[in-house]
Each structure stands twice: as C-alpha cells, then as structure tokens.
Amino acid sequence: MEIEIALAILVILVGSFVQSSIGFGLAIISAPVLFFIDPLYVPAPITVSALTLSIANSYRHWGSISFAELKYAIVGRIPGTVSGGLLLVVIDQKVLALWLGITVLVAVSLSMSRIVFRPTKKALFTAGFLSGFMGTSSSIGGPPMALVMQHEENDYIRANLAAFFVVSCLMSLVMLFSIDRFGVEEIIISLPLMPATIAGYWIAMRTARLISHDNLRRFSLGLCVFAGSGAIASYWI
C-alpha cells in the first residue's frame, strides 16, 4: 500500500511539473497510470489535484484572465459535466479502462492537431461541453479547450485555461459527489497528492528556462500514447 501511494505521488508530481511547464499533461499522464495502480484514483482524486494546480496557476496569471469569454465555455461545461457523470453510472470498471485509454489517445491527437479554431462563442460552448464530458468521466478535460485557445498569446492561454479548470473541477467534483464517486475514501487518497501537485508546480517554475519545452512536449505525448494504449489493451486482457 505504501509503495502504491509513493508511486501515485511520483506520477502526480511529474504530471504537475509537465503541465506547469508546457500547459497540459497532469491528467493525460496521470490518469491511465494511476488507474492501473488503483482505479479509485480516477477520476475524483486526479480532479482534486487538477483543481489545486489550477488555483495556483490562476493566481499567478490573474491579470490575463478574460471572464467575458470564459462564460460561454462554462455554460457549455454544465451539460457536459452531467453527461460525463451519467456515463460513469452506466459503465463498469473494465469499460472505464477502455474509455480512459480512448480519451487519452483522442487528447493526444487533439494536442498534436494543426486544426485552427477561433475562440468564438459557439466554439467555446462546444469545447466547454466536450471538456465537461471528458473531464468528469475520465478527469481528462483539457484538450478541447486548449485546442480552441492554442493560437492565442501564451499568458492568455495559461491564465484562461487555469481559470476555466478551477470552475470545471469544482463542477466535476459536485457531480461525482452526487453519484457517489467522490466520498471519504476518495478524499483520503487525494490528500497526499496535493503537496505533490504543488511540488511539481514549484519545480517547473524554478526550471522553466533550463528545459526545452518542445522536447518535453514530445516526450510527454509519447508517454501518453504508451499509457493510453496500455489502458485500451487491458480491456481485452
């Protein structure tokens, strides 16, 4: 049990470091690995870690947040959150592993996509819905929003994604609580992950100029493909 907790802490630390460095990675990296360690980690405890990291990033980039645009994504997030929660009600653990793997590979594909979207009202609403559905059911809700905002200025992207994820994570946790997927047991195993999340953020801030973000991004996406493929393969094992 202690080894499992230590591994979970390490995975979250790495995921937090990657996301703080390149803007994504916490859930995409952590979810498939932690699911193999203990399915209880997905999705609620990872969502708690994502909330912790998003609060830190929102505070850091507060001046660049545009609440006027975010409201359309947040409105779309509401039905997406409900839909994602209902999916968890009807699928079993084995199907969840399959869905998690598919979500990871879709997220990687979106992250590598060269499709150009503008953050229009319709695009933000749609991205918010997809983020809610994917985020609540698998904890991986970042790519749809990141895809819509990817051609904006860097500080704008980091600030508004972080602010959106604060609201998003709170929505998901409320939904997960309502379907008995976020209770005392999930809270207990979330507690050791929160300091690891902050540690990953702190290390990233101190090493930002020493690391090639392009190389880190390629390595992280490769790791995600491996982990996502493993989750899909586990469905037939």
Distance CA 27, CA 97 (A): 14
Distance CA 19, CA 30 (A): 11
Q: Grade residue 149 by pLDDT with cuts at 50, 70 and 90.
A: confident
The pLDDT tens digits for 175-194 are 999 999 999 999 999 999 99
Distance CA 29, CA 170 (A): 21
Check the CA dihedral 118-135-234-220 and report its sign: positive
- What pTM was computed for the model? 0.92
Q: What is the pLDDT of residue 172?
A: 98
Question: In the chain, where are the structural domains located?
Answer: 2-234
- Of 163-167, 208-212, 219-223, 229-233, which one has max mean pLDDT? 163-167
For 34, the 3-state DSSP assignment is: helix
Q: What is the pLDDT of residue 54?
A: 95
For the chain, the distance separating the N- and C-terminal CA atoms, rounded to the nearest angstrom, is 24
The pLDDT tens digits for 54-101 are 999 999 889 889 888 899 999 999 999 999 999 999 999 889 999 999
